[in-house]
Copies of this chain bind each other. A is one copy, B any other.
């Protein structure tokens, strides 16, 4: 201990901190020791905020980093997420299959019959990829939009996930307005909430941020 009372206070402050943190760590370790299970998760990213797709692609990149096979089906947003698609096709196509079935939002195409056909084809591809046990994760990007417009049938999606998804396969479903029944079935649900958006100040979608 020092003779300087300020230093002594600082030292006892650090000691108190270490003790408090040791207790926190013990409590946390005890909780974590009960978390021993592993299973393939049904993961939903929904809400009006940003980051639904990019957080999902973050998990896809984690899979790629660990050398685990995965796949992506883009249901609607053909025009966005082009950065991730290019990167995966260019560098990691051996680990990650990539299918873009839509070509932009429906008000861009104005052809409902075509949109429905696209969505149904994407869902068939998704089922095939999920059934393949080689895939550790399958991302169904913007599938919630296709479900919401009834382009694909919610009941069929729920039944397929509940009965045919291999137990260790993670399936990630993104898009606004996720159905309550899907949230009910899912293991991990995050709602991305919009707090502040630069569009309001006249800033456009920018390279490397939005796409």
Contacts and interface: CB of A to CB of B under 8 A. Distances in A.
Contacts of A61: 57-58, 61, 83-84, 87
Contact of A47 (B14, B68, B187, B193): B193
B203 A195 contact: no
Interface string A166-200: 00001000000000000100111111111111110
Interface stretch (A1-9, A29-37, A157-165): A29-37
B62 A83 contact: yes
- How often does this chain occur in the complex, in copies? 2
A55 B63 contact: no
B209 A41 contact: yes
A34 B53 CA distance: 25
A49 interface: yes
Contacts of A49: 190-192
A147 interface: no
A64 interface: yes
Nearest to A113: B14
Contacts of A112: 14, 17-18, 21
A203 B186 CA distance: 13
A39 B205 CA distance: 10
A202 B36 contact: yes
A94 B54 CA distance: 22
A35 B195 contact: no
B206 A38 contact: yes
16 contacts: A14-B112, A21-B107, A24-B107, A25-B108, A25-B110, A35-B199, A37-B202, A41-B209, A50-B190, A54-B55, A55-B55, A62-B83, A170-B206, A187-B203, A188-B198, A190-B192
